[in-house]
Amino acid sequence: MAEKLKVATCSLAGCFGCHMSLLDVDERLLELLEIVEFDRSPINDIKHISQPVDLGLIEGGVCNAENIHVLHEFRKMCKILVAVGECGITGGIPSMRNSFTLKECLEEAFVRGAGTENAHIPDDPEIPLLLDKVRPLHHIVKIDYFLPGCPPSAEAFLYFLTELMAGRDPSLPQELIHFD
């Protein structure tokens, strides 16, 4: 048997919807697991990539310092890095906050918000610091491929992975390209 494709995945400023869609391949997941092996991923709860992998799938844009660290780890450890879904590709829904200043956002949530007591902007060092804007992945590191959709459909995931593993250009056919 050929060596399995090592894959790592993560969700940054995303909703895990893309991961859910990947799981939506249903029983084909079993076939998929015949050919791929997951390293770091929310699917198996491995926290860091243990060794260089072939493929990294990243869902979500970049909204805080921790996202940057994770993205850098992925870029370092993944031969091929893929931005998955609208948020990873464009910033998506979280980037709607870019129309406001960070101050406006945080005050709206933590100071002026209904029912807040002892209102202040959280400053615990445990909490990753927010970036001024939410950005797509390609602003921070080189991205090799983009898999659009909100989320990309299970079919799009399968098509993309199959083509990539066959060593072909994984560009989606028109009917599989969706931004929503």
Partner 1 sequence: MYPSLTIPVPDFLDSIPVEHRKDPHALLQILIQIQHAYHHVPKEAAKRLAEEMGVPLVRVQGLLSFYSFLSPEPQGDYVIHFSDNITDQMLGNRGLAAHLCQRLGVKLGETRKDGRVSVHFTSCTGMCDQGPAALVNYLPVTNLDQERIERIADLVNAQIPLQDWPPEFFTVKSQIRRSDVVFRKPIEPGEGIRASLERGGAFLAEWAEDLAPSDARKHHLERGGAETLKEIYRSELRGRGGAGFKTGIKWESVRDAKSSDHYVLCNADEGEPGTFKDRVLLTDYADMVFEGMTICGHAVGSKTGILYLRQEYWYMKEHLEKVLSRRREAGLLGKGILGTALDFDIELHFGAGAYICGMETAMIKSIEGRRGIPRRRWPLPVHQGYLRCPTVVNNVETFAAATVISAKGGAWFAHNGTGQSTGTKLFCVSGDCERPGIYEYPWGVSVHEVLRDCGALDAQGVQVGGPSGTMINTREFDRSACFEDLVGTGTLMIFGPQRDMFEAVKNFALFFQHESCGLCTPCRVGTTLLANYVRKFEKGCGSPVDLKEMQNISGLMKTMAHCGLGQTANHHITESIEKFPAIWKGRMKTTEFIPAFDLDGALEEARNLTGRTDPEAHLAPDHAPMEA
Partner 2 sequence: MSSSFFLDGKAIPFKEGQTVLQAAMSAGHYIPHLCWRPELEPHSSCRLCTVIISGKPFSSCTQPAMEGQNVECDTPELKAMRRAVTQLLFVEGNHYCPSCEESGGCKLQATAYYLGMQDNHFPHQFPVRVRDSSHPLVNLDRDRCIRCETCVRASRELDGKNVFAIHGRGIRSKLAVNSPTGLLKDSGISPEDMAVKLCPTGALTVKRVGFEFPIGQRIFDQESIATLELREYANQEAVHG
Establish if 75 lies at the interface with partner 2 (CB under 8 A).
no
CB of 142 to partner 1, least distance (A): 4
For partner 2, which residue of 55, 70, 136, 159 counts as binding (CB under 8 A)? 136
- Footprint on residues 141-180 left by partner 1 (CB under 8 A): 141-142
Q: Does 62 bind partner 2 (CB under 8 A)?
A: no
Residues in 113-142 that interact with partner 1 by CB under 8 A: 121-123, 125, 128-133, 135, 139-142
- If the CB atoms of residues 40 and 135 are measured against partner 2, the closer one turns out to be 135
Minimal distance, residue 78 CB to partner 2, in Å? 17
| Angstrom distance (rounded) from CA 9 to CA 147 | 13
Q: Are 11 and 60 in contact (CB under 8 A)?
A: yes
**Of 180, 3, 1, 5, nearest in space to 93 by CA:** 180
Question: Which residue lies nearer to partner 1 by CB, 129 or 166?
Answer: 129
- Alpha-carbon dihedral sign for residues 99, 143, 86, 108: negative
> Binder to partner 2 among 36, 106, 138, 163 (CB under 8 A)?
138
Question: Given the complex with partner 2, which of 35 and 140 has the nearer CB atom?
Answer: 140
Burial class of residue 36, CB neighbours in 10 A (0-12, 13-18, 19+): middle
Calculate the CA 131 to chain-centre distance: 17
Total residues in contact with partner 2, by rule CB under 8 A: 29
Question: Which residues fall within 8 angstroms of residue 58, CB to CB, at 6 or more apart?
Answer: 9, 10, 11, 12, 71, 74, 81, 82, 83, 84, 88, 137
Please say which residue, 43 or 121, places its beta carbon nearer to partner 1.
121
Binding site for partner 1 (CB under 8 A): 65, 68, 101-103, 106, 121-123, 125, 128-133, 135, 139-142
